[in-house]
Amino acid sequence: MKKISFILIALLFLLYSCKNEYVKNPYNVQIDSVLSEVKYPSVAEFLAQKGDFITQKEFPPVLTQYQILGNKNLLLIDIRRKSAYIQGHIDGAYNVPRDSLLYFLTQVKNPAAYDKVVLICYTGQSASYSAALLRFYGIGNVYALKYGMAGWNKKFKGIITKNFSGKYESKMDTTTYPQPSAGDLPNIGNGSPVKIIEKRVAELLRLPAKDFLISADSVFAHPEKYFIISYLPPAKYKVGHPKGAVRYNTRSDLSFYQKLNTLPKDKKIVVYCNIGQHSAATVAYLRLLGYDAYSMKFGLNSFMHNIALHNGWFSDKGFLDLPIITGTERTNKKAGGKTPVLSQPTPSIPTPALKGGGGAPEGGGCE
């Protein structure tokens, strides 16, 4: 016991000392040997202890266009291909590939200098995935723009709307499938959860979209190949879902302390929501923990869009026609490089926080 206490004291001293490279280590303790004798929590438990962000009201970290209009202290980052950026982007946005986000936000720009860091993609799905990963990494003011450029300017709206479909509505299942029994979480390594998270986030930001997004066509062709999660309120689940889909509460069930361990480690997991942004952020979390997870592109609107319209689950009010600039220039110098201001007041945004608690009521969030 005395040895362990000494090791912990030495570890704390070393961690504190690393803030000043000139502070010597009087105990001559090797940091690697110390770390090897201290039991760390798993990544899932560590994230839960830090606030269980996935259960919070601000998960997924998504902003509407109205929530950024007129804000002069934003760091806008467009993560689309350069060719798409040239065709039209938001005034002031930097064009940064997704696999360079960590470098950009740790070596080039200081996120803390801005009110918000806003990631912009084609439809909001890749940005939601990336924003969630960066939140887990520790950048607490990063968000995704809801619907991406498709929601910002009508020039790009078709990127989303062309993928809406009702072709599988005749195959809807109304059976209520139970959640599996609890098991073990995937093993993604031992040691410092902070170091594991840093490494995994860097790896996951390099993943091409095809490795974390999946189409409704693929799922409906062979639903038995996947463990399908309906990440929606009960009413939407009862109307219909893919065969075998299991409903999980969006504000509690995937917590480490709840039902996260009911997910299979040996099967591909598909998560779907309304339009693919909540599920993309959730998939980032699951992949961080070692699950082979995929977000269904465009959510339930990709396979039961007519039903969604009939029930009032979808509205095109989130698709605006706001100004863009073309070419490689980042800002319109004549306009001063400012984001447009509409007559509507900008809604207030809660300060990003990773605190414990029950979060919002079921069915909240961006969906």
Query: What is the C-alpha to C-alpha distance for residues 156 and 321, in angstroms, rounded to an integer?
Result: 10
Q: Give residue 72's pLDDT.
A: 85
| Angstrom distance (rounded) from CA 50 to CA 179 | 26
| Sheet of 74-78, strands arranged across | 62-63, 142-145, 116-120, 74-78, 94-95
Distances (CA, A) of 91 to 41, 70, 76, 119: 44, 12, 9, 13
Strand partners, 173: 241
Give the residue carrying structure tokens 């040996």.
Answer: 266
pLDDT of residue 70: 84
Residue type, 246: V
pLDDT at 30: 52
Q: How far apart are CA 97 and CA 174, in angstroms?
A: 41
Question: 125-137 and 193-205 are packed helices; what angle lies between their axes, rounded to 10 degrees?
Answer: 160
57-90 burial: b if 16+ Cβ within 10 Å, else e:
ebbbbbbbbebbbebeebbbbbbbeeebbeebbb
The rounded distance, in Å, linking the Cα atoms of 314 and 308 is 6
Cα separation, 49 vs 208, whole angstroms: 30
Average pLDDT of each block of 10 consecutive residues along the chain (367 residues)? 47 43 38 57 93 92 93 94 97 96 95 96 98 96 97 96 96 96 93 94 97 97 97 96 96 94 97 97 98 98 96 90 95 64 35 30 37
Q: Which amino acid is at 329?
A: E
From CA 188, how far away is CA 288, in angstroms rounded?
Answer: 9
Q: Which is nearest to 75 in space by CA: 129, 131, 159?
A: 131
Name the residue ranges covered by the structural domains of the chain: 2-38, 169-309
The amino acid present at 125, given as its one-letter code, is Q
Would you state the pLDDT for residue 38?
61
295: three-class secondary structure by DSSP:
strand
CATH number of 169-309: 3.40.250.10
pLDDT of residue 360: 30
Q: What is the pLDDT of residue 338?
A: 56
CB-based contact 61:308 (threshold 8 Å): no
Range list of H helices, the chain: 2-17, 31-37, 43-49, 82-87, 101-103, 125-137, 148-152, 158-161, 193-205, 216-221, 234-239, 277-288, 305-310
- Closest listed residue to residue 168, CA positions, set 227, 225, 232, 221: 221
* Residue 66 in tokens: 């109205």
Three-state secondary structure of 139-198: CCCEEEECCHHHHHCHHHCHHHHCCCCCCCHHHCECCCECCCCCCCCCCCCCCCHHHHHH
Task: Indicate left, alpha or beta for 366 from its phi (over 0: left) and psi (-120 to 50: alpha).
Answer: alpha
Which distant-in-sequence residues (6+ apart) come within 8 Å of 75 by Cβ? Answer: 94, 109, 111, 113, 114, 116, 117, 118
Peptide bond into 60 cis (omega under 30): yes
Token look-up 């465009």 returns 298
